A and B are shown apart, each in its own frame.
Chain A
């Protein structure tokens, strides 16, 4: 049986422990996110309800669905950015490396270092150069760093983001002087410079032209050898092209978003299990 919407977690003894909502997973779990019964609110309004899924390591997982059904809210819960907005809070548990990121003693700052995020509208820091943008995550956490260390990291990140050749002569120009597609790749380079395990992309191409979009899709395929990637996209063709796994979100009766189906992309798109998924894929709505 393929993945269902609910995943039961078993401890090493093979028994379910009914007394704990979130169990420790002892094997090496790098780059894996186990989402369990995640719900999130904006103030009193429920935005997403009881989402459970397992993000696998070194895969690209696409989150698809019509607009307004909680996709962005969901992905922002994965690195605890949801609570940065006024009135945002979430409940449930998300296991990273066997520890719940929503635990009482969990530090959001550390979590965000391990789970990076790139936003829909490219947001390079305009008053910093290209170099400083990429180095920002490092410079702003350490009190000092030798310049050659930074140079190494910046070059590596820009190469991984397929941007090095285009900007290697412009490293000291302002980050905002690049084109839209380049800016977004700069944001990706900035995110990977701090060496996260997982990269979240919230509709990264929706503000870009088709040529830049394709470049970023190629980039994702090369990045996935190192990182797990979760991408929210409203572009179904993109999801079909790029992702290994896909989760389909829809708004429930009470306007909150729920996960309808989650599975291998190839299977979801050719042989969806849920009728609503099929309707969406075939374009009956959305």
Chain B
């Protein structure tokens, strides 16, 4: 029998949460982020107002997606670009592969894009013989390791410089003294710089696409986004349909909020707006400009009024960074393109109930919701997903039975009291002979790694019933 994603998740979670070296790297990186994020928020006169404003912009865009996407398309075409509407990943990959084949593309450079990870674009292009270079440093590192990104903003967060030094030595054949970070970056830059000039096609994602101006907005910290979108002859921007925003001026709020939530920066180092291919008389820029608008399950979510706000996400990664589950199990354990709270909320919608376990893998602490820059009620959305799983019959028979019995017992106070008494009595007997945490202990999943729950001889209601509580605290 093959392993289900849920079983694999449980195994990997157990391994990772016991891996103290991993935990220390993540904790160290997250603490640097926490400090920068706190300082970054402090630069805003009113951070909460900025969050509400971003929420309003995204709500307006998502609620009128039909209008804004068409407006965006019209502008891109008017600028001489092409727009392709892809229903799913296969359609998007086929369009891009076909475009590459028609233009005899041999080398592709990519800037960082989670949506291309979602549709496995690099693999699709490599299958037809194209060499694909990830040009974001973190992405380049995980590509060399043949791994998916660990985090949606910082793909190689799980590695320290020694590990990166080892990797470069092995894959690039050059070693760097003391794994000096500056020299490691310089080595990667030398390799990547040549790729930019070799590539016939550059593929980027989009942080936002702007309806009123037909502009694709991209933020990077390494400048690789600008090279990817301007040096090769063809530029393809791949984006989810939910990335559209109504007006260019909305970037004035969204960009700083995204940068602050992503890394704590006031603004990302390179904020680029791309409006189409090179025009007559212009010195540089691509000859062809294509935008691939990807649905891939998003319009199903759009059709659900209660859960639609999940499409507001601007992929800043703040919810991953604060999440105590993410901090313990890390990004790869989720086995999804989007890990962390947003991934747990989004993935069952994009990939089906096979990923419903992720919505259960949360203590519902709400830390994610407290930092989301567009105010998505993430932990409430996890509850909605759990409800969806029950509604569609995706839960275990045993669990359904337990909750039916529970419902009945809770409607009859005497039955509830009796049930509680029997359970306590039974456990007291078992624990009395030292069977706590053993295979005979029905609470062993609790008591294997925790001391047993307290088992008083008398419940509160029993005590109250004797004299209506007169013996408590009355002097």
User: Is chain B found bound to chain A in the same assembly?
Assistant: no
| B residues at A contact (CB < 8 Å) | none
